[in-house]
Structure 1
Amino acid sequence: MKFLIIGAGGIGCYYGARLLDAGHEVTFIARGAHLEAMKQQGLSVEHEALHFKASVEALSMDELLNRHNCADYDLVMLALKSGATSDWLSECGHWLKQAETPVLSLQNGVDNEPLIAAVIGEERTLGGLAVRIGGHIIAPGHIEAKGPAQVVMGRWPQVKESVPALDSLSDTLNAAQIPTRITNNIRYELWKKLLINNGVNPLSALTGLDTRSLTADPALGKTVYAMMQETALAARADDVELTPSDVDEMFALISQFDAIKTSMLVDREKGRPLELDDISGAVIRRCRQLGESAPNTELVERLLQLDIRPVQWRPLTA
């Protein structure tokens, strides 16, 4: 198959390397020094179960639009930051409409799929999430990833019947050692992942702590759990019911998973825009819509907006 990966950062490059290793064709869309390094030196990916280094096809967005048609690809994987989705659709909407290629979103948040479906239609829109993976660019052209790196995907917004093309895609990903399962209710799965994203990403960015440090700390762990509860409340605005058992399951999952730097913490360290609007903002907006409050989420988001940073305390000297 021929795959196009839009937003070739840590997670996009890991999945792309897996697909290349399995014999598929992959085009990576990136920018800046990372793009230039991939063009000149190839792509290197280090993972506990994969050591990949090879030349790859890496292009800028302009180069893609000038050199390729959407119909050249069997699947578009969208791994952009959520805040870039709308601008990308505005730029590439006409290009996307010239084919029937499905688009699989592997982004944070619960608002990307409606934007995609509004441009290309629900029949071509696949909701998805990358589960239990941490992946970052540690140097241009060099990716470090960890975790089982599973994918959950499904037709947007919800289907009851089996979709043969989706079954075939799942088989392809699983054969490439990307553990993949199909869900008939992708909206529920996206909200379930947002439990973790809202629980740890903003607080991690605020404190500078990894996920394990957050959940193991008595006070911060309670805050993580409370922000997950606020996420479950917000989901009701989208007619998604997240139970206390869902909250407990996701809290246990992130508590037991390897200590990872969240993507929001990495973005803050590098001075990049944070995905606040698509993570904490999504929770706050929906709670307000329901006439409810999300005090923990609101506080952490506001501190990040004010750019409050951890103070490096030093012991007093005599």
Structure 2
Amino acid sequence: MRIVVVGAGGVGGYFGARLAEAGHEVTFVARGRHLAAIRERGALLVRSPLGEARVDARHFVESPAEVHQADVVLVAVKLWDTEDVAAGLRHLTDGGARVLSLQNGVQKDTVLRRHLPEDAVWGGVCYIAAVIEEPGVVVHRGPMQRIVLGAYQGHPADGVAEFHEACVKAGIDAEVGADIARTVWEKYVFLTGLSATTTAVRQPIGVIRGNPATRELLREVMAEAVAVGRASGVDLDEAFADAQMAAVDTLPAGMTSSMAHDLERGNRLELPWLSGGVVSLGRELGVPTPRNRTVADVLAPYELGRPAPDA
């Protein structure tokens, strides 16, 4: 298959490298210091407990405009870049490409559909712990590396089975979701809870779940997200947040979130699309979201990165 990966960070770098290893024609869109290091080294290096991978630098470009045809486009940029990326993919969807966002949040596909035909946008989520350790090097931590994808209800599923098969043959744990909208929201509920608490409290999940006050904060952050999802028409179980707490108790005690990692490094946060997204969607739907609102307010000074001392 002809695959374009927009964003060669932890998510895009890992999954794109596995697909390239399997013999697919994969082109990566990267930029900045990461792209410069890849070109200087001659390859992207992916370190993983499942095996190291290298992707030759000749497969990297700076813009989707440099790619003329594709079967599937994987979007793996940070959420604030979605609008700009979507605007640059129309020539590929006009040629028949399908677009699969592996980003966080539930508003990502709404943004894509503002610029692209609805039928061209698949729904999907991924589960992986992978980061850019240094420019040119992606590190995959732990064995988990899973993609769930599917066409949204009412839209044709052309190409879904073919891409699913490509992922499986590349060694990726992949699944076609029966109700992909619900799958996207289920991940959003969990991710919002994990991100909100580990970032605001600045402690890993073991500490969060072990303290009665922060444990309840985690449950209520997720419960608010469930309420917003149900109000938007998604078939979420009303008790989904409680069920997720049982799953939380099985997580490694030292587990944290990518947003907490970004806060620690002084990077920009995806806050407006996580707890902030729950708040904005709740406001539109008339659903109270006081816990997410508090998290969003507490973290607001860090949204664009570490604030200057004299700001």
CA distance in 2, matches of 1:6, 1:216: 39
Cα offsets for 1:169-215 (capped at 9, x unmatched): 11111111111111232111111011111101122222332334433
| Cα distance change on mapping 1:303 and 1:11 into 2, 3 Å | same
Match 1:205 to one of 193, 199, 218: 199
- Bigger Cα displacement from structure 2, 21-30 vs 166-175: 21-30
In 2, Cα distance between the equivalents of 1:265 and 1:279?
Answer: 12
Q: What are the within-5 Å matches in structure 2 for residues 244-255 of structure 1?
A: 244-255=238-249
| 5+ residue gaps, structure 1 | 310-318
Alignment of 1:130-169 (within 5 A): 130-131=126-127, 133-145=128-140, 146-156=142-152, 158-159=153-154, 163=157, 165-169=159-163
The 5 Å alignment of 1:1-318 reads 1-41=1-41, 42-56=43-57, 57-61=59-63, 64-65=64-65, 67-69=66-68, 71=69, 73-90=70-87, 92-131=88-127, 133-145=128-140, 146-156=142-152, 158-159=153-154, 163=157, 165-258=159-252, 259-307=254-302
Instruction: Work out whether residues 232 and 285 of structure 2, in 8 Å CA contact, stay in contact via their aligned partners in 1.
Output: no
Amino acid at match of 2:61: L
> Partners in 2 of 1:307 and 1:165 — Cα distance?
41
Contact 1:75 1:101 (C-alpha < 8 Å) held by counterparts: yes
Seen in structure 2, the aligned counterparts of structure 1 residues 212 and 5 have a Cα distance that, compared at 3 Å, is farther
CA distance in 2, matches of 1:255, 1:20: 36
Q: Tell me which residue corresponds to 2:309.
A: none
- TM-score with structure 2 length normalisation? 0.88
Is the Cα contact below 8 Å between 1:228 and 1:247 reproduced in 2? yes
Label 1:184 to 1:118 Cα distance change in 2 as closer, same or farther (>3 A).
farther
Q: Distance in 2 between matches of 1:102 and 1:80?
A: 17
Q: CA deviation at 1:155?
A: 1.0
If the length of structure 1 is used for normalisation, what is the TM-score? Answer: 0.86
Is the CA contact 2:227–2:238 (under 8 Å) kept in the aligned structure 1? no
SS in 2 for 1:137: strand
| Identity score, percent | 28
